[in-house]
Chains A and B, each alone.
Chain A
Amino acid sequence: MKTRKQHALSTRLWHWVNAVSIIVLFMTGLNISNAHRYLYWGDYGFDPRDAWLSVIKFPAWSTIPQYYNLAIARDWHITMAWPFGLGLAFIWIAMLVNGHFRRDLTTTPRDWTPSAVIASLKAHGPGAAAHGYNPVQKILYGMVFGVLMPLMLFTGLAISPGFQAVAPWLLEVLGGRQSARSLHFIAAWAIFGFFVIHLLLALADWRLILGMITGGKRVESETEAPQPAPATEPVLEGEPSHG
């Protein structure tokens, strides 16, 4: 038996930098949304009558800054896009190199079965740290890392007029600039949904938050099985790792 930090230093550093980036990006994004509260599909769109969605005016308390100012919101938004974008590349490389991705985030077909999902939810997350994440956690984290955050990054790049000369194909893949803008908005709210669940579960046990700062501890056997243990039988000792 050997002990090892529950969260690698790279994971912890990225987690907190990314948390700040995402909060600022989201709240400045709401301010930017208030500038033209209509979403369209396709390349163009300027007439509210053609919008597929009329977005609410986001209240001042939910935006950065705490009043409507497109210039300041954009300054923060394009600034925090750097730690978010570079951080996403960094954590993907780190996860692939240190085995976090293979060990904790890859799923097997069995993880996607209703019974695996129900068992995860009944166990209220835990699945004990020593046995990695349960199927629901794997699927959700996988979606956030593999789909939602890359989608935020690429749709954000695609709606920049200066970037369209870099990768015109990106706009075509996304279905045009206004489609990219709509997807940017949808992905932002999907990430917000994840953020709420993540935060509620973390606040339910403050040791999880502490663990993300100090690294926490977890015990694991030296002959770690390549396949993560099934989480249908949650082991309840050790530090829970949900959230």
Chain B
Amino acid sequence: MVDLPRRSLLAGMAALSASACAKINQSESAKTLFDAAEDGHRTLHRALAGKQGLAPEYTRAERSPTFRGNGSVTVEDPFYKAQLAGGFPDWRLEVRGLVEKPLALTLDEVKALPQRTQITRHDCVEGWSAIGEWQGPQLAALLDAAKVKESAKFIVFRCADVLYGRDYYESIDMVDAYHPQTIIAHSLNGEPLPEKNGAPLRMRIERQLGYKQAKYVKAIEAVASFADIGDGKGGFWEDTAGYQWYAGI
């Protein structure tokens, strides 16, 4: 049986909810709800996998034939360009902030640290995946060498690339900072990192999405809070596009 009033009621409800949604998206209570959902996922992941639970690693045969570059694929800075051409002889990786012993390492010094090699999958927030073999020291080794203070709650990565006029940066908490698969990679598939993939150094944080994997890393900074960095949301994409800070989903 046809029941027109009911159908127009349904259509009206649909239209109402569509415009209501637009308002809800920007509201404080929606923000609170989204944050709770995000925190819930992070808590669930860590409760079930453990803080040190590993992301799957693959064999060489399972690697993708190439590794896509995305986001910044080049750096315009003249110093960077000169360094890239010459093999980064004067590039320094700083470890600073809430540390007792700030460091400034050359690329050779980074390569001389104990290394971890891992073949892992990179998942972009957009949906695609690539698999590559990364090599570099664990972030934990650098943080221990610099003697991170107790007051440090987050690790911020400062990058050489500029997107939409803003310096790229990212941040993670101490759980991911001390995760065994969190490394500062200097090579991809046995070769020095290509520019599009973040030469000379990029982060691998294997249980999170691609935008957390900061490229062109200049400095690793231990902080108590990232509220005063950028727009205070903990990363370039978090600030500019509203992406979730916990990118494990």
Contacts and interface: CB of A to CB of B under 8 A. Distances in A.
Residue picked from A33, A35, A46, A161, most chain B C-beta under 10 Å: A161
Contacts of B37: 75, 78-79, 81-82
B105 interface: no
A182 to B, nearest CB: 10
A44 to B, nearest CB: 4
Interface string B1-42: 101001100100000001001100100001001100110111
B125 interface: yes
Interface in B139-186: none
Interface stretch (A90-98, A186-194, A198-206): A198-206
A72 interface: yes
Nearest to A169: B56
A35 B127 contact: yes
A205 B243 CA distance: 43
Contacts of B249: 74, 78, 160-163
Given A82-B37, A162-B208, A70 B125 contact: yes
Contacts of A54: none
Interface centre among A65, A75, A159, A205 (most CB of B within 10 A): A75
A181 B125 CA distance: 12
A162 to B, nearest CB: 2
A178 B126 contact: no
B33 A79 contact: yes
A64 B49 contact: no
Contacts of B247: 161
Looking at B33, B34, B128, B244, the one whose CB has the most chain A CB atoms below 10 A away is: B128
Nearest to A168: B56
Contacts of B40: 82
A166 B243 contact: no
5 contacts: A64-B21, A66-B21, A76-B25, A162-B249, A206-B1
The 6 residue pairs across chains A and B that have the minimum distance between CB atoms: A162-B248, A165-B53, A71-B242, A46-B128, A79-B37, A165-B49
Given A44-B128, A161-B248, 11 more contacts: A43-B121, A65-B21, A81-B37, A161-B121, A161-B123, A162-B208, A163-B49, A163-B248, A168-B55, A177-B121, A181-B127
